[in-house]
Amino acid sequence: MNEIKLDKKVNFDNIKDKVRVFAPATVANMICGFDILGFAVNEPGDEVKMYRVAEPGVRIRSIAGDDGRLPLDADRNTVSACVKMLLSDLGVADTIGVEIELIKHMPIGSGLGSSSASTVAGLYAINALLGAPLTKEELMPYCVEGERLACGHGHADNVAPALMGGVTLIRGQEALDIVKLPVPGELYAGIVFPQVDVPTRDARQLIKDKVLLKDAVVQWGNIAGLIAGLFQNDYDLIGRSMQDVLIEPTRAILIPEFYEMKRIALECGALSFGISGSGPSVVAISRGADIARVATAKIKEHLSSKEIDSYQYVSAVNVEGPRLLDFDA
């Protein structure tokens, strides 16, 4: 874990009774930037309701939308474990009591940063409940630790965009160095989640740990081209740069109908198409919502014809990250 040096005090006058937070799903890798790029979307996302209670400690009241897959034990649940860690580093673990309701609005193991959205929602919520003693930058190492607890690897390409919003570059993983990149206003993601389970751990184990120099040259050309395209608002450059010659050829075999879905998306006018995170969700990157909508609808139709159920989401890039929601709305 990145060493966390926290020199913050909680002002007990600022503590709230309860907060409700939404944190967004994310598309890690952004097709060509394995483990270093990612962006947030407006939907789906997860929600945390957090209540201050008299008895010190952190407890999970309930989890909805997980089909019973996530632990209610506060030491084993990633969200509560991260909240406990933060309270402990703030020196208030023995004095503050909180209870958590986690509401999952997205599938687990979808490649949409499901665990990251929950972790970020939980950490943003405890910080808000305590009167926001930490900046987002200070919350980031706790989010990365949550990712490590959830999937055994502390890659930040889901938690960084989920917390910071927009498109993020993880320039350094060991010593965290996160760079926010510009977001062209018409950039949309058409996401399709085919209902097959691809755990991140399995999808990572498949990948070879050596690459050919000629492939690496193509890939870093693409990453550099994508970054330039984001700065220049150049959708054609973004599209032709979002190509993955390193990871996609291996992971695509885990995703049924991958190449047919790609053909459909590109035929509909998508700028690019690829795997979201470690899959099985796929993403059609589009200029404007219309192309993304048509591409996801046609892909869904194709999957149905093969008797594969799917969810679809169409979203602009989410630029704000987590947000406070009205508690009673």
* Distance in Å, CB of 194 to ligand HSE, minimum: 16
Q: Give min distance, CB of 198 to ligand HSE, in A.
A: 10
Which residues have C-beta within 8 Å of that of residue 267, sequence separation ≥ 6? none
Q: Which of 7, 89, 83, 8 is nearest to 52 (CA)?
A: 83
Beta-sheet pairing, 97-104 with 57-64: parallel
What would the DSSP string read from start to end of 196-242?
----HHHHHHTS-S---HHHHHHHHHHHHHHHHHHHHT-HHHHHHH-
Please identify, using beta-carbon distances, which residue of 30 and 128 lies nearer to ligand HSE: 30
Closest approach of ligand HSE to the CB of residue 279, in Å:
8
**Known catalytic membership, residue 267:** no
Nearer to ligand HSE, 34 or 273 (CB): 34
CA torsion, ordered 107, 190, 30, 236, to nearest 10 deg: 180
Query: Considering beta carbons, is residue 155 or 300 the nearer one to ligand HSE?
Result: 155
Which residues would be at the binding site for ligand HSE (CB under 6 A)?
28-29, 34-35, 111, 155, 157-158, 200, 203-204, 277-278
In this structure, what token pair is assigned to residue 52? 């201050």
Residue 223 assigned as binding residue: no
Q: Is 114 annotated as a binding residue?
A: yes
Q: How far is the CB of 203 from ligand HSE (least distance, A)?
A: 6
Which residue of the chain is nearest ligand HSE when measured via CB? Answer: 277
Return the number of other C-beta atoms located less than 10 Å from residue 193's C-beta: 25
Q: Please indicate if the annotation marks 241 as binding a ligand.
A: no
Confirm or deny that 113 is annotated as ligand binding: yes
* Token code pair at residue 132: 């926001």
The CA distances from residue 175 to 2, 89, 159, in Å, are 6, 19, 15
Q: Is 149 annotated as a binding residue?
A: no
**127 or 281: whose CB is closer to ligand HSE?**
281
Active-site entry in 147, 168, 248, 257: 147
Whole-angstrom distance, CA of residue 100 vs CA of residue 103 = 10
Q: Count of CB atoms within 10 A of residue 39's CB?
A: 29
Shortest approach of ligand HSE to residue 277 CB, angstroms? 3
Contact (Cβ atoms closer than 8 angstroms) between residue 99 and residue 53? yes
Was 117 annotated as part of a binding site?
A: yes
- Pair type for strands 310-316 and 272-275: unpaired
- How many residues can be counted in the chain? 329
CB nearer to ligand HSE: give 117 or 291.
117
Which residue numbers belong to the known binding site for ATP?
Answer: 107-117
Looking at the annotation, which residues are catalytic? 147, 200
